[in-house]
Every structure is written in C-alpha cells, then in structure tokens.
Chains A and B, each alone.
Chain A
Amino acid sequence: MDSLIKDFEKVAKRQRTLKDETSKTLDALIQRLSETKAAIAEGAGPTACAKPANEAKDLAGKLTESYKDMQSVLYKYAKSVEKRFKTDLDNIWDPRAFDDKDDVLCRTLAIHFVREGRFDIAEAFAAETAVQIPETLKAQFLEMFFIQEALRKRDIAPAIQWAARHRGELEKRGSMLEFHLHKLQFVQHLVAGEPLAALEYAKANFGAFPRHLKEIQQLMCSILFASKLSVSPYANLLNPHLWTDIQTTFCRDFCMLLGLSSDSPLFIAVTAGTTALPTIIKMSSIMKDKSGLEWSQQGELPVEIPLIDAYRFHSVFACPVSKEPGTEENPPMMMPCGHVICKESLMRLGKGNLTSRFKCPYCPLESTAAQALRVHL
C-alpha cells in the first residue's frame, strides 16, 4: 500500500507542476509568436525573424516533452495499480442466490436505514423503489433515537420513563437498565453538588431494586464524599464510559423488547461477508483449477470462514472423533463421564451393541452406548 501511495504522490506532484509549467510555457509561447509577428511586420531580416520563432519552436517541443514525462509517471502508477490489484473479482464466487429476490433485498435496505436512524434516506429510498416501510417500525425507532439523543445530552428522564413503562418485560429478561439509569440520575445530583437531593432521589427510587442492594449501599456511601467525588474511592462513578455504555445498553434492550437484534443485521451480514470474501476468493481460485465443480450448490462451504466471537449466534457441534457435524439424525450424545461425541461415533465404539462396554476416547471411564444422553446445544 505504501509504495502505491508513493507512486501516486509522484503523479499528484507532477500533475501540479505540469499545470504551472503549461500555463507558463503557453504564455511564453504566445509572447514569442507575437514577437515573431512584430518582426515580420517591421520587415526585419530573416535572422531577426527566425530568432523568436526558433525559441517558440523550442518551447513547443519542450511542452510536448513535459506531457510525455507526465505520461510515464502516470503509467508507472497505473502499472503498480495493475500489479497490486490483479484479482478478477468477476470470477469469484457468485451463486446467484439473490435472483428474483431483489424486492426483499430492497426491503432489508429500507429497514436498515430506519434502524440507523436515517429516516430521510429511508423515505427517499422507499419512494424511488416503491418499497413499503412498516409505519410501526418507523415509529418505534423514532422513539428509540429520540431517547438515545436525550441520553447523549445527559437527559435521563425520557429513558427512565420508557424503562418504567416496560419494567416487567425488562426484568424478565434480566435487564438492569432501569437501575443503571436511576444510578446515573443519582450521580448527577451528586455532581451538581446537591447531596440532599441525591438522598431524596435514592429514597424515592432505589426501593424498587432490592436485587441491587450491594450497589445501592455503595451509592449511599458515596454521598459522604459528594464534595470531592473525583478523588474518593467512588471516582469511577464519574467515568464518562458510563454514559456511552448506557446508550448501548438502552438500544440493545429497546431492540430486544421488539424482538430485534441490537446491531443492524445488514451491517452484521455485510461485515461478516467482508472478512469472509478473501478466504472465499482464495478457495474459489483453487477449486476452479482443480475441477471446476460447482461447490456453491452443495450444502456446505468447503472451507472454514473465520468469524469473530460476536458473530457466533448458534452452537456448532463437530464430533471430535469423526469430525462430522451434529445433525438431527446424528446428534451429539454425552457419555456418563461428560464427554460429548456424535451418535454414529458412539455406536461405532460400542460395535453397534447398545450394552457392550467401551472406554471413552478422552478419559479412562468405561460405559455403554445406552447410558449416553442426547444433548441439545
């Protein structure tokens, strides 16, 4: 990349100097031509006329040369671009799985814009493609972005109102959002130098959260240090991360109650694809050399694609003995020792007999196939 940038810098520089050079040379050229004309008009001798004329010819030649020079610099850069980017993107994997699905793709785009809070783009896009955006979805995300914007400005009230309205559902899902919002409000009173107001606030609100008893105790204790919170053991209450974290938590919980993912699924899928494509490109070039077989039609990609942990949404079981993936017909089974292998491997170890004893491949314990328990991951 660096050498490419260096090559390009040369192009940019030459282009700049060529610009000045051209206008200077052209001006000089015009000057010489005018001089030649004047000399001819005066009827000066052939040598007097030829002098500016020859200079003009030299200038013309020089300018042509300068352009040739620029051409070579530009082509050098073009060559290094060619060298750098030679993958043929048109011949990589294209299973054409989206044929006739363009309307759904458009709908996902429209939803993506709504989810990102770019309502005007969503509107424009919907108008241009005749895609319908569900009004309820729009209203829900308008509310979410309104509350989030308030949080960004450190205004907690709208978020607290929302959380109180959905207290039951949030608690069922183990969310601690509401308590953390109250906590921030409490700290805001402290920061504003109103320990009494903080105390009142605590009395009025913390009672609803017996689960957070320990944290409430700490918060109450922090009142003692209200005047010098930043140098107290409670300095972490002032951490600005608490504010960015609460925005993330709020959005996640808000989406969770709607039954939606916290990140835009389009972003997740495209980001996963961006990191997956290099592997797929490499694979497809190898596969093509081999036999040109159409592996995209098979049930599984032929190569493992690295995924970051955050993008692992489902358990995947691969039998440590046979390396086969777990399926409904060949499910994962746990032996009494706790080791899990697939059913086929289990039967093979027991030589097809449910009651014959065999040793676990991973520990000394012996058991029978009948003792194994089917597990759901």
Chain B
Amino acid sequence: MDSSKLNHEGLLALDQPLVKVPLEQLKRAFRSSQKHVEKEMAAVSAQLESALAKAAAKPDEACSAIDATLSRLQGLKRKLAEIKTEEDLYVGRTKLRLEHLAEMTRISSADSEAFTRWSKTRLSRILVDYMLRKGLSTSPAKLAADSHIEVAPAHRLDFVDIELFAQSRRIEDALRRRSCAECLQWCSENKSSLKKMKSTLEFSLRLQEYIELVRARNLPQAISHARKFLTPWSDTHMREIQQAMGMLAFSPKTACGAYKALFDDGRWEMLTEQFRADNYALNSLTLQPLLHMTLQAGLSSLKTRTCYQPPTRNINCPVCDADTFGYLAEKLPCAHHVNSCIVCRITGRIMDADNPPLVLPNGQVYSSWALQDMALRNNGAVTCPATGSTFHVSEARKAFIM
C-alpha cells in the first residue's frame, strides 16, 4: 500500500458541511423569494380580474385597486433585491468552496507541498469552526480574516460560516436570559425543515413558557397558554402534557421528583443543547466539532506503545508531549501496524536497505548513517545516546528486521 496516496473520495466526505451549509442557505433564500413571487403574481392576476370586472361601473375603484397593486409590486421589487444580495453571497461562496475541494482532488500525494498548503487552509477552517462553536467571536474572525490561507483576502471569510454561528449565538444568549421568543421565531422560520426532522424543539420551548407561567403562579394564563400551544402536540406528547397539567397542583419548591425536574433551572441548559443540535442538523453541520474528530483520529494513528516512555521520546511526536497532546491522547487506542518500521532515534529517519539498522553490543539499534557520521567525527568511537556506553563502530552488526 502506498502510504502517501490521497483518498480523495474519503477526504471530500469529511468536508460535506462546507458545501451543504451554503446550499441550505441558498435553498432557504430562494424559497422565500419564490414564495413572495408566487403570492404577488397570483394577487396581481386576481386584482386585474376584479378591476376589469368593475371598470365600466366603478372606474375610480378599479383605478385605486390597480394603484394598490402597483405599490405592492414596488414592495416586491425591493424585497427580491434584498434576497438576491443574500443569494449572490451564497452562490459566490459555494463556487469558491467547490473550487477549494476540486483543488484537493488534483493533488495525488499526501507528501507534497500542495497538500501541505491545502491542509493548512483546512486546519484554519476547522479551528475557526471549533472556536465559533465554543461561542467565541473576536479570535475566530481574526483567524478567518488573517490566516495563511493563500487566496485573496476577500475570499478568506468565504470558507467559514461566521454569520450562521452569530445568529445561533444570539438565540442561545436569549435562551440563557430565559427568553424563548427568539428561538420560537427561528422555529417558525424553519418550520417545514424542522417538521421533516421530527424536531420537538418547539414543544419543549412552549412547555418551558408554560412552566415559567406556573412558577410565577399565573395559573389562568398558564392554562390558556397550554390550551393554545400544548394541545396541538397531544398526538405525540400526551404524557408530557398530562404531567405539565399536573404541575398546577404543586408549588415550585416541591420535593416531588417528576415535578421538581420540571421546575429545575437545568431545563434551560437542555433547551440550549436541543436548539444547538437541531440547528447543526438543519445546516448539515456535524454534532461534534470537526477538530475533535480529526484530532482524535490523528493522535490515535500517531500513538504507539513507546510514546510516553522517556528513552524513546521523540520531540517531533505530538503524543510524546505528556502535558498537551499526550494528555489528550490518553484514552485513545494505539495505531495498528502490520509491518515493522524502524525509525533511527538519532536522526529520526526511517531505516531501509540504503540506511540499514546496526546493533551495538548492548542491543541498541541505530541507523548506519548516524553511527558512521558519529564515528567519522570521533576516530571510530560511537557513544550510545541511550546508555552512554562507548564502542568502536566496527563492533556494530547489521540487523535484519522484516
């Protein structure tokens, strides 16, 4: 197996959010403009019909009806222009992102300058994604705008979805302030997609509003709220609704398990989580940050049994640093290798037929280049770095490791 051959299909699969996010946004923007057009066009036809019908009898009324239609058309024009700017953004963005992915499919080797460059861009992308998910704003914006990404500055921001996370943060902040309004607004904007996903977020939000009314002992309003907003969910959530109605009999300080849980403040945190999960799913973003997945896979494939041990420590190996990556890799499995691969502990190079492994009398193995170089500088004497013992280079024997 050629270890440097790139698996293009697999790599593309990892970056699907890059293409799917702007597609979802474009679809949403287009649907809304289409809805406006269809509605207004139907209205125009209907208005004209009725205007013509009364043209002879009441020309004044007909004229003012047409005037009303005209002003509605002006409104439509304005609205469409707004949506078009948004669409242009998503179209331009998709174009750049597809190009970025296509660029990768033209690189054949993982061991090439071009792939290193592409990987640096990708690293910046997934770091920004991670930082945005953490709710940061300044540093990811800085990184997105000033990264080593080698494209025109105006394009750099196109590889990350800062607006999406900004909107999501606004809603999360609102939930943290105990306000459901913003999140409910988002639910109604994405009603059909959420329904398709079988999301129960809206019910949870309505239930929370109800709980808050009960907590404030505003019982009549709580009951009317439940009648209006909870009953539509009775097909699927009858048990929860019954339990919610049961709450009316209890005070917020109740010790009764089920009701205590409903009054618990932790529910708000849960709502935030639920919103976040639905929002990510809606936009085809992964639930876990890509950084987590990639880093776990990377550390695991680098990790060996000898990583944490001082005699075999390699400063270039991330896992060997026990304070940072070594700690992160603690619970990860080691890499699996079917074949031996001997790396010289002096030069860090892989030993092969050109640079065969030599065994010193104490059993320590180093590459012949390393030992010969050392012998050249010290009149044939070689000092084993692991044990400190000195030998003559002629004492070293060739080992055959298959």
Contact = CB atoms under 8 A, between A and B. Distances in A.
Given A37-B63, A129-B136, A320-B402, A296 B333 contact: yes
Contacts of B119: 267, 270-271, 274
Interface in A253-271: 256, 259-263, 265-271
Nearest to B346: A174
Contacts of A371: none
A313 B363 contact: no
Contacts of B77: 23, 26
Contact of A87 (B2, B13, B55, B332): B13
A95 B119 CA distance: 24
Contact of B10 (A60, A113, A116, A282): A282
B284 to A, nearest CB: 8
A218 B149 CA distance: 41
Contact of B315 (A19, A260, A307): A260
Contacts, number: 403
Interface in B134-170: 134, 136-139, 142-143, 146-148
Given A71-B30, A320-B402, A95 B111 contact: no
Interface stretch (B182-190, B231-239, B252-260, B294-302): B294-302
Nearest to B352: A309
A193 B281 CA distance: 67
Contacts of A68: 34
A57 interface: yes
Contact of A338 (B37, B142, B400): B400
Contacts of A298: 333
A320 B328 CA distance: 32
A44 B19 CA distance: 56
A139 interface: no
A266 to B, nearest CB: 7
B126 interface: yes
A310 B41 contact: no
A263 B143 CA distance: 19
A275 interface: yes
Contacts of A376: 311, 363-365, 386
B315 A256 contact: yes
A324 to B, nearest CB: 11
A238 interface: no
B179 interface: no
Given A15-B91, A124-B142, A313 B320 contact: yes
B335 A305 contact: yes
Interface residues of A, number: 134
Given A8-B94, A265-B325, A373-B359, A314 B312 contact: yes
Interface string B1-25: 1111111111111101101100100
Contacts of B9: 278
A15 B402 contact: no
Interface string A80-108: 01001101011011110110010011011
User: Do most interface residues of chain B lie in helix, strand or loop, or is the interface mixed?
Assistant: helix
Interface in B49-103: 51-52, 55-56, 59, 62-63, 66-67, 69-70, 73-74, 76-77, 80, 84, 87-88, 91, 94-95, 98-99, 101-102
Contacts of A5: 98-99, 102
Interface in B342-357: 342-343, 345, 348, 350, 357
B33 to A, nearest CB: 8
Interface stretch (A28-36, A154-162, A197-205, A351-359): A28-36
A112 B318 CA distance: 12
A228 interface: no
A81 B386 CA distance: 55
Contacts of A135: none
B48 interface: yes
A377 B295 contact: no
Interface residues of B, number: 144
A213 interface: no
A251 interface: no
Contact of A74 (B30, B110, B320, B399): B30
Contacts of A314: 304, 306-307, 312, 314, 317, 343
A125 interface: yes
26 contacts: A5-B99, A8-B98, A40-B51, A57-B45, A87-B16, A90-B286, A92-B293, A105-B291, A125-B139, A127-B138, A256-B315, A261-B315, A269-B299, A270-B123, A270-B298, A273-B299, A276-B301, A300-B333, A306-B2, A308-B4, A313-B317, A314-B304, A314-B307, A315-B345, A316-B342, A340-B399
Interface of A: 1-2, 4-5, 8, 11-12, 15, 19, 22-23, 26, 29-30, 33-34, 36-37, 40-41, 43, 46, 49-50, 53, 56-57, 60-61, 63-64, 67-68, 70-71, 74, 77-78, 81, 84-85, 87, 89-90, 92-95, 97-98, 101, 104-105, 107-109, 111-113, 116, 118, 120-121, 124-125, 127-129, 174, 211, 256, 259-263, 265-282, 295-318, 320, 323, 325, 327, 332, 334, 337-340, 362, 373-377
Closest 3 interchain pairs by CB?
A: A278-B10, A273-B298, A313-B317
Interface of B: 1-14, 16-17, 19-20, 23, 26-27, 30, 33-34, 37-38, 41-42, 44-45, 48, 51-52, 55-56, 59, 62-63, 66-67, 69-70, 73-74, 76-77, 80, 84, 87-88, 91, 94-95, 98-99, 101-102, 105, 110-111, 116, 119-120, 122-123, 126-127, 130-131, 134, 136-139, 142-143, 146-148, 286-288, 291-302, 304-307, 311-312, 314-318, 320-321, 323-325, 327-343, 345, 348, 350, 357, 359, 363-365, 373, 377, 386, 397-402
